[in-house]
Each structure stands twice: as structure tokens, then as C-alpha cells.
Amino acid sequence: MVGVALGIAAIAATLAMAAGCVLPERARVVWVGILTAASATAGGVAGIAVLAGSARFTANYPDLLPLGGIRIEFDALSAIFTVAAALVAVPASIYGIGYGLHGPSSRPVQVAYPLLVWSLMMVPAAGNVTGLVVLWELMAISSLILVLAEHQHNPEARTAAQWYAVVTHLSLLAIVVALLILAHGAGGESFAAMRSGAGRLGPGVTSVVFLLALLGFGAKAGVVPVHVWLPRAHPEAPSHVSALMSGAMVKLGIYGVVRVGWDLLGGGPGWWGAVVLIVGLASAMFGILHALLASDLKRLLAYSTTENVGLIFIGIGAAGLFASTGNRPLAAVALAAALLHVINHAAFKGLLFLGAGSIHSATGTRDLDSLGGLARRMPVTAATFAVGALAIAALPPLNGFVSEWLLLQSLVHSLPSKAVAVAVAMPVAVAVVALVGGLVAATFVKAFGTAFLAMPRSVEAEQAHESPRTMQIGLVALAGMCVALALAPTVLAEPLRRATVAVAGLSSGRPIHTNGVYLQLSGIQAGLSPLLLATGLGVMMVVALAVVRRRRVHHTVRDIPAWGCGRTLQTARMEYTATSFAEPLQRVFDDVLHPEIDVDVDHRTESRHYIEAIRYRRQTRDAFEQRLYLPLLGVVRRAGDAARRVQNGSIHRYLTFSLITLIVVLIAAR
């Protein structure tokens, strides 16, 4: 069944690419969307079949590529990430039909999109170095084409593509070097050979492999400090592509870290987990602080992705620390929480990006300061975006709450501990996760409130209309998935157990027990029933509504306007904007963010006592970009200018260079 489903996925993706090549504009948008959704559905079926079964699926194609060919090795860990990709890709592809009919629909975009979806599902299924590198590069190239979809009239897209291309290919270089060192030491390039031969490598070599893999895969995941491409590329891609990149593509960086560090290398010393934990803590705080201050909706969501990936890295790092101290049950719980958040984040972040695309399609802007009042004009978008906002804020009874609750349980119950690293790191981790949770809530209160509530702040927002039907279908499907994952996470208990078993260092872990509706954690006196929690909240809401209705029936209700401090007319200029909403919290973190604030005051010509206009501008620059990447780029630019003087056009000088190179090579060969 797995092989048949993977074959159908490949055939449907090929047909979608062919449709993008040969069909006229409207037809290709429709057929690419339908066939890509079919391909993603088949890939999701393959992943579910592996998670529901007990054995891994393997297939060899030695003659498909030179060197090592392609080997497919589909286990439970692979299936988690394939299902997460399919979960976003099916609704995004349907959504893309309506989006493409009113937006970018060129042939390169329509050909690259099904290739991206298929490669996202197949990267976790690669079972050797050659197959992983080829599929990874297909994913990188197709996503780069899609980031450039609107480059002709958007200079920001070209800049974003340059950053993305450089970072993603440097990350691939680090990944290839890490895997080649491991393959050479293990005596084979298949993952099975690496798994069995990794013990022959010394601790120094394995640490080098792990750090290179963390650098390469971490760049794709968008963690600090190799995140600089993410807040640039995600906002400029078409919104259904942004949903895929944030909901699925960055997760493959997480997959790579888990696969190499905890599977192929069989785990490692405790400092590996500590490094991953520190990266996760820094990414979570950095991402949410920049999301809090962002007024561009898609940029806000992009920085929020860095924050959520940071939470996942916290779980993975904590699992490494717990495993190194011998607490395997708790390590299994932490890793299960991270993997569950992979799926949950795919659902609610995909939903939020699709909602942002609907807003942009209806208003032509992503600036929250120019929106407002969209709830009445776009009720479906407003309702589904609210579901995503509640889910990402980890509020019950939605799915983000379940995975973050699991993560916090694993961190809290690690104390007290005799291991110094655990005793020091876990209180800090708990505090950071709690602080991040509060800032996430403030961020999405700002996003939802300034976009959908109050009065419109621009003509475009006032004239907005609901999205086309296919876009609404994509939104409703992902919102329903957020609710389903929240109410029935018990169905994922066994798949999560198999995924942790697939990781060699946690082979004895059984993280979650369930009796149908109740989650009981292994080795922890803690449990949760999301279904009962949702039922209780529903009953409380019904009772509250009944009491209010009863009081309205038996009492006369008078509507009295609130005191307006002496004014009688409410206008949009009197409302909070996204910038002003975040300003008090910005002051709290001024010493961390160092925002640049510029206030211009124009006075009337008659008297300086009367003000004509006030303009307030705030810009928060990325500290890593300013202090690390721009100086490094300056060094590279100066080196390039110096090298340019060597290339003076003289054929005699070039022949001399060739002769010197030949002599050096001959001496080295001798």
C-alpha cells in the first residue's frame, strides 16, 4: 500500500507539472491545483499507512542516479514529517486555485509548485546520501522559483531570493560535508550502513558531524543565528507557498537534526542536547519579540515560525539532555512533544498564512496599520484566522495547547535532578517557554484585533470582500484540522511512540499512554483529556449564554454609549494601530531590540504652537543581520574587489596562473 501510494503521488505530481507546461492560464491553474492536491493526498496516505503499521517500507533504485542511486527508507519518523507536509499541501493546493486565478499564475510558478510539494514529502523518505541531496536540491530550487514569483514588480522578492539562495546552498554544503564524513567513516552511504558503522567513528569526528548537521539543517529550519532568509522569503512568496514553506519545509531542518543526531549517530553526549536547547531558547525569544513588533502580517507570521521552531528545538534538546542522564522515559516525552508540535504547527501556521493571503488578495496590503473592520466584510477568513490565532497562542481547547502542555510537563517534571546541566537548564527553559507563551498571546491579539475588528483604516480595507470559494475551502479545511487535532490527539499516541522508537537513542521510550480520551504521560504523574476539557468549556459557554439570555428576557436592557472623554465622533484615527498596540511592550524590551524611532512634527506656518501633522516611524533591525552578516558581506565584497585587480584581461597573466596551478598539482600528486 505504501509503495502504491508513493507511486500515485509521483505520477500525480508529474501530471501536474505537465499541465503547468502545456495548458492555457486558467486551465493550468485549476488542473495544477487538483493534481497537486491528489499527489499530496497520496503521500499523506503513505505516511498514515506507515504510522498505522509496524514495519518500515524500503525500496532500492540503484540505476536511477549515478554514484549511489536512490534508496527509499520510510519509517515512523519519516512518516511524521511526510504527513505534516501533506496536511498543509492538500488545502493549500485547493486554496491555490482561487489564489492563482487572481494572482501569479505563470508557467514557471505552476510547474515549480507540484515539484515543491512532491519533494517536501519525499525528502524524509530518502534512505541514502545521494537521494537526500538530490531531493533536497529539488526542494530548494522549486521553492526559490516560487519566492521569485512576483519579482517583476516587487524588488523585495528579488532581494529575498538572493538571501534565500545563498543561505540554502551554504546550508546544503554543510549537510553534504557532514554526511560524507559520516559515510566515509561508516563504510557506506546508505542510512542503514551509517547507523551500523557510526560506532567506529571517534567522539571528535561524531561531534564535528553533529555540529555541521546542526548548522546545515538549522539554517533550513530558520533557527537563530542562521534565520536571516526566513523573514525575507516567506512574506514574498505566494501565500499558499508561504504556508508550505513555514508549515512543512522548515520542518525538514528539524527532521535532519533528529535523523542525524539521534538516529544515525545514535545519540551523543549531553552537551549536544544542551547546544540544541540553547539554540531553541534563543530562537523562541528572538522570533516572538520581532513578531510582536512587526506590522507586516506575513513578516509577523514568518518571525513566529522562528519562535515555534525554537519551541520544537527546546523539546529535542531537552530529550538529548534527559537521555544523556539516563532518564529515557522523560526524554521520550520531550521528543514526542516536539514531534506533535511539528504536526500542530503545520496545521495552524498553514491556516494563518492562508488567512494572510486572503487579506492581501482582498485589500492589496499586508500592513496591519492600514487594515481594520474586516470581520464583517470577510466573515469566513475572520473566523478561520481566529481559530489559527487561538491555536498558536496555545489556548485550550485547540491543538497548540496540547503539544505545548506536553513540552512544559517534560520540562517541569525533570526537577529535581542530580545532573547539574538539567538542574540549571530546565528552570530557565520553563521560564522562557512561559514568557514566550504570553508574548505570543499579545502578538496575535494585536494581529487579529487590528486586522479584523474596529473600523477600517483605509479605503482598501473598507472595500474588502470575501475570498473566492476555493480559498475558503482551504481555510475551513485547515481550521477543521486544528480542531480535530485538539479534540483527538490520542490517535497520535501510538504513532508518536513508533517515531520515538525509530530514534536509536530512545528505543525504550513509550511517551504516552491512552485509554481512548485520556492522555497519560510515561513516568509522570500528569494527564490530560482534551475532549473532556473542550466539553467542559462548551458547557460553561452554554450556561453563560443561557444566563445572559434569561436576564435580557426578564430585565429591560438599555444601550448607553461609553463616555468619550468629551468627543462625540469615533473615527479610525482614534483607534489603536498595530504599532501603537505593541509600543508599551517594545519599551520593556528596548535594551534587547534597540529599535530606531523617528518622530517628525510639522507645524502650521501661522504659528509653531499649532501642529499640522505628526509622523511616527519605528524600525527594528535584525541584530544578527546588522552585526554578523553585513560585516561578513563587507569582508567578502572587499575580497572580491581585490581579486578583480588580478583579473586584468592579460592572457599572459592567465597562462602564468594556469602553469603555476599545474606545477602545484603535479607536486602534490607526486
Task: Based on DSSP, count helices (H) and strands (E) in the chain, helices before strands.
Answer: 27, 7
Residue listed under C-alpha cell 499564475: 105
* pTM (predicted TM-score): 0.91
Query: What would the pLDDT profile of 397-448 be if each residue is shown by its tens digit?
Result: 888 898 999 999 989 988 787 888 888 899 999 999 999 999 999 999 999 9
Handedness of CA 64, 69, 74, 78 (dihedral sign): negative
Please say if the pLDDT value at position 507 is more than 60: no
Query: With contact defined as beta carbons under 8 Å apart, do 344 and 403 qualify?
Result: yes
Higher pLDDT, 39 or 562: 39
Q: Please state, rounded to an integer, the average pLDDT across all residues of the chain.
A: 88
Q: What percent of the chain has pLDDT over 70?
A: 97
Single out the residue of 334, 333, 295, 337 nearest to residue 318, CA to CA.
334
Domain ranges of the chain: 269-528, 596-670
What is the DSSP-derived secondary structure letter of residue 608? T
Residue listed under C-alpha cell 479584523: 452
Q: Where are the alpha helices (DSSP H) in 589-650?
A: 590-593, 623-624, 630-646
Q: How far is CA 618 from each of CA 320, 380, 580, 582, rounded to the nearest angstrom?
A: 40, 32, 10, 11
Query: With contact defined as beta carbons under 8 Å apart, do 231 and 76 qualify?
Result: no
Q: What percent of the chain has pLDDT over 90?
A: 49
Q: What local confidence, expressed as pLDDT, does residue 482 receive? A: 92
User: Of 64-73, 241-250, 467-476, which gets the smallest average pLDDT?
Assistant: 64-73
d(CA 587, CA 583): 6
Q: 3-class DSSP state for residue 134?
A: helix
The sheet with strand 519-521 has its strands ordered as: 512-514, 519-521, 527-528
Query: Given pLDDT bands bounded at 50, 70 and 90, which one contains residue 658?
Result: very high
Q: What local confidence, expressed as pLDDT, does residue 506 receive? A: 64
Query: With contact defined as beta carbons under 8 Å apart, do 372 and 450 qualify?
Result: yes
Vertex 281: Cα angle to 580 and 331 (nearest 5): 140
User: Of 88-102, 285-299, 557-571, 599-613, which gets the smallest average pLDDT?
Assistant: 557-571
Q: What local confidence, expressed as pLDDT, does residue 508 receive? A: 56
Q: What local confidence, expressed as pLDDT, does residue 567 receive? A: 67
